[in-house]
A and B are shown apart, each in its own frame.
Chain A
Amino acid sequence: MNIISVKNLVKRYEFYRKQAGLWGTIKSFFYRKKLYSDAVSSISFDITEGEIVGFLGPNGAGKSTTLKMLSGILYPSGGTMSVLGFNPEERQKEFKKQFGIIMGQKDQLVRDLTPMDNFLLFKEFCEVSDADFKQIFDELVSLLDIKDILDVQVRKLSLGQRMKCELVAALIHNPKVLLLDEPTIGLDVVAQKNIRDFIKKYNKLKKTTIMLTSHYMDDIKELCERVIIINHGKIIYDGKLSLLISTYAKDKMIKITATDPIEKIDLEPFGAVEDYQEISASIRVPRERVKEVAAKLISSNLPVDDILIDEMPIDDIIRAIFQDKK
């Protein structure tokens, strides 16, 4: 069953250009041309129950705009969407009770209150019953391990602790759909991993449908089987993460280890040498020539000890896609 269904969604923003300086300002006061830009131009996708979908794209690609439309914050300029059978534009109460959103750069918690008081406030907002609250709350607190910060004012917490509390606040009504806009932004590696592990466990436990944007590839690699890649408001890839590699990576990497140091010059005839370290190196080779080059490497008189053929790192692939489509 499709939990989220989007068809030809468009968001058009108005903006103006102003010439630099005071004179430009005065001129723009009397005459300015209205310009339009499509932050999201006609995207369509479906997401089924329990999926975790990674939503990737460079800054300004339209990720946040899409999530804001799905959550009912922004009105779309065109197209249709349906989330849990509701139209987010109508902002029905029943709809809001069933979904949650976290924006990494924006806090929902009231900073003067303690996390506990915040949770109680959100409980009232979402009209959660006492029994449900207790059960969900206990579960979340033990999963996130935040028992000892529940009674400290939010403004005194570290970013990592605060993000954990944000998660609890966004999940206290047990939503069926969760939108996460850069939930790990600004966190250190350990805190990022904590949040990631939590999302993974939570999804397994509750079968919550999750849509997630992140600039950290580790988040995507660990959490999402499926990714949607968007750039300049258009979807350029929608499918399995693993398939992305074979579709878009034209090259493979041959990693060699040697018994004795090899000169870089000696390797260059085989392909583009990357990551050269005297007794080990990676050579980038077009996919269809990998076998041939590997065979040549072994049969050459270079002191090659071991050969490993690997896919390109996913970060590089995505970077390549972005540059490609510009």
Chain B
Amino acid sequence: MLVLILMWTAIYNSGSGIIKGFSLNEMITYVLVGNIFAAIIRNFLPSGVSRDINSGRLSMFLVKPISYIKYTFMNEIGRVGFITLSTIGTLGIILFFFLDRVVLNTDWRYIVLIICMLFLALIIELLLGFLVGTIAFWTEEVDGVLFSADRIKRFFAGGYFPLSLLPVTLATISTYLPFAYSFFVPAQLYLKKIDLQAGIIGLGIQLVWIVLLSTILSMVWKKGLKRYEATGS
């Protein structure tokens, strides 16, 4: 992330002061704030779920009167809590060095909207993470898939560069995908580059995705369990 900030600084220094409507300070804020958002809603479900499936630990949950999906979601939220705190801590230190460059937004309407958006993004990420983890029902070798999925997600989330730098069609498509709401959109809201109304439409898109993803997940989960062979013991 520090590399990204330094890279943008170099690019801005060598060229004009504004790229696609972003000043250098805004770009630095985008990277910092976006990464904090991403850290808050991040989860490690794909590797955890696929490990449980491959090792047969899932069996232990199937025989208990609890839902594995709910259990892992709750477990993950608890586990991520600590990691999030430490990540925000380190980001805080970096933030401190760029304090004079960070754009501040104290408009409470934006902040409430961002919090709502991050909460929904958290749920979407959990559903997505779980879905990716279920790949282990079909193949034992999941690391490569998990890695690629992570890259694609980060690209469409705007984690490498603001999505507004993309060709218009691609940028439009990405606003209908769920990924952008984990990084790009809330960061843009923070910078007030998106107005409140567009933000609320974003919440709607997120809700549609939540419904869609939970339906897909319950279908995939049922199909996967049919294939489950409880290996490992």
Interface centre among B62, B63, B64, B226 (most CB of A within 10 A): B63
Q: A93-B65, A125-B65, A125-B66 are in contact. Are A108 and B60 (CB under 8 A)?
A: yes
- A196 interface residue per 8 A CB criterion: no
Contact A74 B65 (CB under 8 A): no
Q: Does B197 contact A (CB under 8 A)?
A: no
Residues of B within 8 A of A75 (CB): 225-226
Stretch of A43-51, A65-73, A221-229 that contacts chain B: A65-73
Distance in angstroms between the alpha carbons of A88 and B57 in the assembled complex: 19
| Chief secondary structure at chain B's binding surface | loop
B233 CB → nearest A CB, Å? 4
User: Considering the chains assembled together, what is the distance between the CA atoms of A108 and B62 in angstroms?
Assistant: 11
Is the CB of A216 closer than 8 A to any CB of chain B? no
Q: Which of B56, B63, B66 is the one whose CB lies under 8 Å from A101?
A: B63
Instruction: Provide the residues of chain A in CB contact with B232, threshold 8 Å.
Output: 106
Q: A125 to B60, alpha carbons, bound, how many Å? A: 12
Contact call A106/B64, Cβ cutoff below 8 A: no
Contacts of B226 in A (CB 8 A): 75
Total B residues in contact with A, Cβ cutoff 8 Å: 16
Q: With the chains together, A68 CA to B229 CA distance in Å?
A: 9
Please state if B62 and A103 are interface contacts (CB–CB under 8 Å): no
Closest chain B residue to A98 by CB distance? B65
Does B161 touch A at the CB level, under 8 Å? Answer: no
A-B CB pair tally, cutoff 8 Å: 44
Q: Hey, which chain A residues are within 8 Å of B47, CB to CB?
A: none
A99: which B residues are within 8 A, CB to CB? Answer: 63
Chain A 59-95, CB within 8 Å of chain B: the 1/0 string? 0000010001001111100000000000000010100
A-side contacts of B63, CB under 8 Å: 71-73, 96, 99-101
Do A72 and B62 have beta carbons less than 8 Å apart? yes
CB neighbours of B56 from chain A (8 A): 106
The yes or no answer to B230 lying at the interface (CB within 8 A) is: yes
**Is A105's CB within 8 Å of the partner chain B?**
yes
| Assembly CA distance A100 to B63 (angstroms) | 8
Complex Cα gap A13–B230 (Å) = 12
Task: Assess whether B229 is in contact with A103, with CB atoms less than 8 Å apart.
Answer: no
Alpha-carbon separation in the docked complex, A25 to B186 (Å): 47
Structural contact, A97 and B229, CB atoms closer than 8 A: no
A196 to chain B, nearest CB (A): 21
Q: Separation in Å of the B90 CB from the closest CB of chain A?
A: 26
* Interface bits B59-98 vs A (CB < 8 Å: 1, else 0): 1101111100000000000000000000000000000000
- The answer, yes or no, to whether B44 is at the interface (CB within 8 Å) is no
Give the chain B neighbours of A125 by CB distance below 8 A. 64-66
The residues in B between 20 and 57 inclusive whose CB is less than 8 angstroms from any CB of A are 56-57
Q: A68-B59, A106-B59 are in contact. Are A74 and B64 (CB under 8 A)?
A: no
A306 at the A/B interface (Cβ < 8 Å)? no
- CA of A71 to CA of B57 in the docked complex: distance in angstroms? 15
Q: Is A3 an interface residue (CB 8 A)?
A: no
Decide yes or no whether A278 CB sits under 8 A from chain B.
Answer: no
B64–A96 CB distance below 8 A: yes
Using CB atoms, name the residue of chain A closest to B60: A108
CA distance A148 to B143 in the complex (A): 43
Q: Does B155 contact A (CB under 8 A)?
A: no
User: Please, how many angstroms separate the alpha-carbon atoms of A99 and B226 in the complex?
Assistant: 21
Q: Give bound CA distance, A68 to B63, whole Å.
A: 9
Is B65 a contact of A126 with CB atoms below 8 Å? yes
Query: Is B228 an interface residue, CB under 8 A from the partner?
Result: yes
Which residues of A in the span 104-128 have a Cβ within 8 Å of any Cβ on B?
105-106, 108, 122, 125-127
Which 9 A/B pairs are nearest by Cβ-Cβ distance?
A96-B65, A106-B233, A105-B233, A93-B65, A73-B59, A108-B60, A125-B64, A73-B62, A125-B66
What are 16 of the A-B contact pairs (CB < 8 Å)? Answer: A68-B59, A71-B62, A71-B63, A73-B62, A73-B63, A73-B228, A93-B65, A99-B63, A105-B233, A106-B57, A106-B60, A106-B233, A108-B60, A125-B64, A126-B64, A127-B65
